[in-house]
């Protein structure tokens, strides 16, 4: 963890957080989020813009104000959950799906979005093989800065499971790994070149997960982290098998459908897309690759 000011060190100390119970901290974060919604006009405006970019064009568009309020609360809770010890629970059906895929001989792609406490997803893996590789952006491998963001990056690096593979130019490396039966964690909701119907609008999404699955004959399991009170649960969808789909386009669309359904169940829990790669390209009209 990089050195920084005393106040930031106290807020981000792993040792201190280990002895602090999560339940009351989450309750306090919820109260803080509700107060922020009431008192902070800037926070309200940011949340409205974020939620509009997510739900515009969907059946939940009419709930913008309430979802924006919930988004402020969820963001406050997430800041607390991030610094607490990472753990997650999983139900038997989801665990069975993971066990079946991860104990087989084919490569496995675990596909996630920036939904809820996604960074805890891998802590619910039910088998020893677990995750072998995780695709990361350049920021993950840079020297952490001496501030809150730097401490957050360091926490991500300490908590990450699986060996990191730099995303830039990684396709042939990932293809080789999957072809020999490895497993890896990939994000779906990142900008790319494929125009995709997503969340009621057109999004230019990366289709690397679908292309890798088809070319490596790998299974794809979508997963999400879902908060229930002070606990995080991981849900796993049924495996998508490229042998049962016609081509990359069908695989990409099938994966989009799963993630879209989950996001629309809890749109307030999705991070602002403009904070994880879309820059200012994700709006109520379309998500356009920057």
Contacts of 85 (CB under 8 A, 6+ apart): 14, 17, 18
Q: What is the average pLDDT across 261-283?
A: 97
Is residue 273 within 8 A of residue 215, CB to CB? The reply is no
Residue 125: pLDDT band by 50, 70, 90 thresholds? Answer: confident
Q: What is the average pLDDT across 119-135?
A: 80
Give the SS3 label for residue 205: strand
Asked whether residue 247 carries a pLDDT value surpassing 90, the answer given is yes
Average pLDDT for the chain:
95
Contacts of 38 (CB under 8 A, 6+ apart): none
Phi, psi of 90 (to 5 degrees): -145, 140
Q: Give the separation between CA 214 and CA 259, rounded to whole angstroms.
A: 19
- Nearest partner of 120 among 155, 145, 151, judged by Cα: 155
Query: 181's torsion region: left (phi>0), alpha (psi -120 to 50) or beta?
Result: left
Distances (CA, A) of 203 to 41, 155, 221: 29, 31, 21
> What is the per-residue pLDDT for 128?
57
Asked whether residue 129 carries a pLDDT value surpassing 60, the answer given is no
Contacts of 241 (CB under 8 A, 6+ apart): 219
Contacts of 92 (CB under 8 A, 6+ apart): none
- Nearest partner of 185 among 123, 232, 233, judged by Cα: 123
Q: Give the separation between CA 111 and CA 188, rounded to whole angstroms.
A: 6
Asked whether residue 51 carries a pLDDT value surpassing 70, the answer given is yes
Place of tokens 């109520």: 284
Q: Which stretches of 72-141 are assigned E, i.e. beta strand?
A: 89-90, 108-112, 133-136
Residue 217: pLDDT band by 50, 70, 90 thresholds? Answer: very high
> What is the per-residue pLDDT for 131?
66
pTM of this prediction? 0.94
Residue 253: pLDDT band by 50, 70, 90 thresholds? Answer: very high
Beginning with the edge strand found earlier in the chain, give each strand of the sheet holding 201-205 in spatial order.
191-198, 201-205, 286-287
- Count Cβ neighbours within 10 Å for each residue of 224-237 and write b for 16 or more, e otherwise: bbbbeebebbbbbb
Give the SS3 label for residue 7: helix
> What is the per-residue pLDDT for 33?
98
Condensed to tens digits (0 to 9), the pLDDT of residues 131-159 reads 689 999 999 999 999 999 999 999 999 88
Q: Give the separation between CA 235 and CA 97, rounded to whole angstroms.
A: 10
């Amino acid at each position: 963890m990089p050195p920084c000011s005393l106040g930031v060190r106290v807020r981000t100390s792993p040792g201190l957080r280990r002895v602090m119970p999560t339940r009351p901290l989450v309750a306090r974060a919820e109260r803080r989020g509700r107060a922020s919604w009431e008192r902070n006009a800037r926070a309200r405006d940011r949340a409205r813009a974020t939620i509009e970019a997510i739900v515009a064009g969907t059946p939940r568009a009419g709930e913008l104000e309430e979802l924006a309020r919930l988004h402020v609360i969820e963001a406050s809770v997430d800041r607390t959950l991030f610094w607490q010890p990472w753990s997650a629970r999983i139900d038997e059906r989801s665990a069975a799906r993971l066990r079946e895929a991860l104990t087989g001989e084919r490569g496995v792609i675990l596909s996630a979005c920036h939904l809820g406490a996604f960074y805890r997803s891998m802590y619910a893996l039910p088998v020893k093989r677990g995750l072998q590789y995780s695709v990361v952006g350049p920021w993950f491998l840079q020297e952490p800065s001496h501030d809150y963001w730097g401490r957050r990056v360091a926490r991500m690096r300490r908590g990450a499971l699986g060996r990191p593979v730099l995303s830039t130019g990684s396709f042939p490396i990932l293809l080789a790994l999957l072809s020999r039966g490895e497993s890896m964690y990939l994000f779906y909701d990142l900008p790319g070149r494929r125009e995709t119907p997503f969340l009621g609008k057109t999004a230019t999404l990366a289709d690397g997960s679908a292309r890798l699955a088809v070319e490596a004959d790998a299974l794809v399991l979508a997963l999400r982290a879902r908060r229930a009170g002070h606990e995080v649960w991981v849900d796993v969808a049924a495996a998508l098998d490229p042998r049962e789909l016609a081509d990359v386009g069908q695989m990409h669309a099938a994966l989009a459908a799963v993630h879209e359904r989950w996001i629309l169940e809890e749109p307030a829990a999705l991070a602002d897309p403009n904070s994880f790669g879309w820059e200012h390209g994700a709006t109520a009209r379309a998500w356009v690759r920057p």
